[in-house]
Structure 1
Amino acid sequence: MYFPFLRGKQNELFAINELNFLIKESQKVTPIIEPVNLNSTTRRILPEINNSGVPFVLIVNPQTGDLSNKGYEIYSPLLEVFENKNIVSLGYFITESTSISELEQVMNFYKEFSFSFIYIAVNYNILNFIEGSKEKRDIDYHIFQDGKVSNSFSNSFKQFNRVIIKDCFNRLSRNADYQSAEYYSDLICVYRPDFFGFGDYQVIGSGTGGGGPAHAVALHLTYKNSPESNEIWIRHFVSDDKEGTSNVQGKYFQALSKLVEFLNEYNNTPETIGAKQFRDNLADGVFHQLGFPKKLSVKHHIELMIQLLEPDN
């Protein structure tokens, strides 16, 4: 089972919504969405995703963005318009300071929803709460961010549905510094039997910020490295023009030409909707700003995971 972690920005939400039919049909994907705001786009797209029948984890205590440190009650109007409340799991970050009373309050406030816990720190007090509440409340998933908790801590939850999330994207401070290709992840091969599912941050990474205007445009595409293995690699396509911050459109199409050339020559990776849309964009020559290729890369990566997962996973 694949759990893509998305920060809830506009193009990430668009990617999920535009793949809703494929995600629902596959029954292999449960997105984890950490909203960065509750603007009009978020309030429109999240109900559309839910109403299409896509299951997802919606985090109600974001740690980043405009909604960090806001009360979980602010999500109530949004959740009220969801048609399929039974397929939404409310996610809650567990930190070292999360208390049992805090969890009881939020779970009592949203009694009609099940919950999932995302562990970004070790907190053994939560084990007592889990053991005491498992007969009373539905807890769908225990999600562990790789590198944030110990193996011994996550192993304490072996009787539950455990998910491992790893940031596999090697983000560089300058687009011009990306090289041709590098290893991305083999979680799809190794997450079983210890974990129920696995997840990543696609080609975005777990970082929250972006720098100023880039001197080079870099596009990123994941792919299957060889016919014999499901090991995933990532290729970076950097514009030839790396000077100044102007000519963004020209730089984009320089990078896009390289990406499409790779798609046309490399046969190990299955065709995806995102890949086709990259080809179409090169053909039509329309520049949609740089959020657009990020959306296509996310769509491609999620569909790639769907295609590579075994039918019983």
Structure 2
Amino acid sequence: MYYPFFRGKQFELLAIKESASVIADAGFNPIIEPVRETVNGLHRTLQEIVAQGAAASVIVNPRHGDHRHDSEELAAYLRDNYGGNDAISPALLLTNAMSTEDALRLITAHESQLLTLVHAGFTDGRGLAAGLPSGDFTHVFLDSRNVLYRRAFRGGRRILIEDGFERKKNADYDLIDRFSELHVTFEEQGADGYGDFLTIGDHYAEGGGPAYAVAIHLTFIDPGQEDAMFVYHFKSDTNNTPVDPAGKFSEALQKLVTTVDSAGSKVLETSAVHEFRDLHARHHFPGLGYVKKLSIKHHLETLADYHAHG
């Protein structure tokens, strides 16, 4: 049903690991693109996914990070550790840099396994569909608008992924932006599931510079807007210099707490919101990576609650 797309940075992997029981209960299937050379964090995350009875797909030919020029190590890691376990399955990125022959050669090397094909700019959908070996494929489309391309894969399991998070400088965000309605409409679009890039967005950078502004991103579903999803951007006020990130976080956190405590708040009381409240009560700044982790966990719990009660 829900296929959140993660890049395997530290706090994203921690968010998955700490949300494994939520992911399992909701039947979600994370897609993880490993971007770090070491697989220790990935391994701990996948072990917890398996322990909780959940499933995940791991991209074995990433286009970002440390493995982008050599994917065999990841493929070997999955074979050695999860070759007999369908809970953890390989995924392949199909990009516009590949010929149809390249794509089919890559797919054939993994055809004995459950396989997720992530269509990420590949253009010859009809040729690829005609050449696919028999097998159990999940087709994930990173461009949910390309209807003609995905028509070639009718009859297969099709997942639409949409980037609902508009990336800006933190200081430039409005208080609220529309995020997505795909969780409501994916079936009407002929899909079997949907996904997004959570509150990170489809943007990859090795590291960020100093934060002139701190923003906490928190999604919510609005029943008054036909269950569309929106995102709050709680921003700091003192944004002229990169000094005092803890003070900036405190300013943003105060706005978050005021909003979630207000009458008629549509923000779900998730475990992440409880932790934000605790940080506010203790006047503690855990670091910006930790804040991103909480935003991701909140997003997962919000969608899990929607599908459980929506």
Q: TM-score of the superposition, structure 1-length normalised?
A: 0.89
Residues 105-139 of structure 1: CA deviation (Å, up to 9, x unaligned): 54555466310101112223211222xx12xx221
Q: 1:17 to 1:192 in 2, by over 3 A?
A: same
Deviation at 1:242, TM superposition (A): 0.8
Q: From 234, 237, 262, give the equivalent of 2:259.
A: 262
1:19–1:299: 8 Å Cα contact kept in structure 2?
A: yes
Corresponding residue to 1:192 among 182, 187, 190: 187
Of residues 164, 179, 185, the one that matches 2:174 is 179
Partner residue, 1:299: 297
Aligned counterparts of 1:71 and 1:65: Cα–Cα separation in 2: 11
Q: Shift in Å at residue 145 of structure 1?
A: 1.1
Distance 1:278 1:59, change over 3 A: same
Q: Distance in 1 between matches of 2:274 and 2:103?
A: 44
Does the Cα contact within 8 Å between 1:167 and 1:200 map onto a contact in 2? yes
What is residue 26 of structure 1 aligned with on the other side?
26
Structure 1 equivalent of residue 272 of structure 2:
274
Q: Report the residue type matching 2:175 in the other structure.
A: S
Conserved 8 A contact 1:95-1:123: no
Q: Report the alpha carbon displacement of residue 84 of structure 1 after superposing the two structures with TM.
A: 6.8
Q: How many percent identity over aligned positions?
A: 32
What residue number does 1:126 align with?
128
Structure 2: which 5+ residue stretches go unaligned?
A: none
- What is the rounded CA distance, in whole Å, between the counterparts of 1:83 and 1:91 in structure 2? 13
In the other structure, the counterpart of 2:227 is 230
CA distance in 1, matches of 2:72, 2:197: 24
Deviates most, 277-286 or 107-116:
107-116
Aligned match of 1:15: 15
Q: How many residues align?
A: 304
Q: Is the 8 A contact 1:43 1:78 kept in 2?
A: no
1:165 pairs with 2:166: no
Secondary structure class of the residue paired with 1:81: helix
Query: For 2:84 and 2:201, how far apart are their aligned partners in 1?
Result: 29
Alignment correspondent of 1:220: 217
CA displacement at 1:277 relative to structure 2: 1.4
1:171 and 1:237 map into 2 onto residues whose CA distance is: 14
Residue type of the partner of 1:276?
H
1:51-103 deviation digits (Å, cap 9, x = unpaired): 43221111111111111121334442355234972122211011234355545
For the 8 Å contact 2:259–2:265, the answer to whether it is kept is: no
Contact conserved, 1:93 with 1:119, CA < 8 A, in 2?
Answer: yes
**In structure 2, how many angstroms separate the alpha carbons of the residues matched to 1:84 and 1:171?**
39
Q: What's the CA shift for 1:183?
A: 1.0
What amino acid is aligned across from residue 21 of structure 1 in structure 2?
A: S
Match of 2:150 among 154, 174, 184: 154
1:306 deviation in Å? Answer: 1.2
Query: Which residue of structure 1 aligns with residue 55 of structure 2?
Result: 55
TM-score by length of 2: 0.90
Contact 1:219 1:256 in 2 (8 A): yes
Unaligned runs of 5+ in 1: none
